[in-house]
Amino acid sequence: MDKEVVEVQQPCSINPKSFKNNENGTDCTKACPTRKLSVPNGKKGSSEPISDPNFKRPSTSISSAKRSVKDNPYMGRYRVVRTLGRGNFAKVKLAVHMTTDCEVAVKVIDKTQLNEPGLKKLFREVKVMKTLSHPNIVQLYEVIESERHVYLVMECAQKGELFEHLVSYGRMREKDARIKFRQIVSALQYCHSKKIVHRDLKAENLLLDTNFDMKIADFGFSNFYGQGKKLDTFCGSPPYAAPELFQGKNYTGPEVDVWSLGVILYTLVSGSLPFDAKDLKDLREKVLRGKYRVPFYLTTDCEQLLKKMLVLSPDKRESLESIMNDKWMNIGFENEPLRPYIEPHSDFRDPVRISESSLPLGVFRKLMRQLEYHF
């Protein structure tokens, strides 16, 4: 069967200046690695809904590649299972809390490799995550800081990335996409109600838990907005970036997330990206034109919702509150219309909390030594 291949560029600077050669004389568009979203051409929604308990997840998901934990090291109250991933200054470990048997993801950041702006960005990410408590946002359970490292103990989404699901199973049927998209919109509206903008929404940063519910992850580019101030950092993943970012314009915040939501919805229901190109320059031109192919199988209601989000003028994009009330969003949920999330009074976010204040000083120092040894 013929396949339609969409090249997805990984996050890189989308500052308009980067379309030209940078200070090192390299082409930034070629320097960006790509991940390919390859789906069968014209493939219908998966015959195995993503909510099916018998759904077989991709081999890259967390629990599918577990190795024996017989000889795994321990760190305090956690048993380390394996390394999930690594970057230049950080790595992510899968660990299990020994008392609750709860799986967690521990992001280990080497502070000594970060400059002052990098440290500020890290602590802003922590501040943002500590502010948020929503069932469709990856929860930050614990922050542990040592002389060299910062450890972020977070909720573990065992079913992996939405991106990997789309690669393996193609587009979703609209009724299945609606369930997932409602969860994403609810979580993002909650962020905006806290004056937080994500700025890096994409299929790779949307995870699935054991119940196949969505979890927004990776708040590394997030920031607080409001009080009449404009943001001026041009960041995120180019295929999901709003036109004003490519133009180098300042922005308030929520409007760039709404554009990314439009790209995500299109990807859910089509299995491809609305704007794709071989390099960043061509991608920029396509985004600034704002023209995309509408698949013949999309319902009119879904098409109309896309048009409310993929609007070139940021002032004309719908707010998340308006999107919540859209007809397509609530088909099949007439008795459960989407409403802004209200936080419970009790704090259930910390089932595996370990903090310096809750441990004797000697025990905490021993824990720190174990952390440094194993990471």
Q: State the binding site for ATP.
A: 107
Contacts of 158 (CB under 8 A, 6+ apart): 61, 62, 63, 103, 208, 209, 210
For tokens 């950092």, what's the residue? 233
Amino acid at 203: A
Question: Of the residues 200, 218, 257, 276, which is catalytic?
Answer: 200
Q: For residues 199 and 125, what is the distance between their CA atoms, to the nearest angstrom?
A: 12
For tokens 């943002």, what's the residue? 128
Q: For residues 45 and 150, what is the distance between their CA atoms, to the nearest angstrom?
A: 42
Q: For residues 9 and 346, what is the distance between their CA atoms, to the nearest angstrom?
A: 41
176 is catalytic: no
Q: Are 57 and 165 in contact (CB under 8 A)?
A: yes
Q: Are 121 and 108 in contact (CB under 8 A)?
A: no
Give Cα 249 distance to the centre of its chain.
Answer: 24
Q: Are 261 and 39 in contact (CB under 8 A)?
A: no
Question: How does DSSP classify residue 11?
Answer: P
Residue positions annotated with a catalytic role: 200
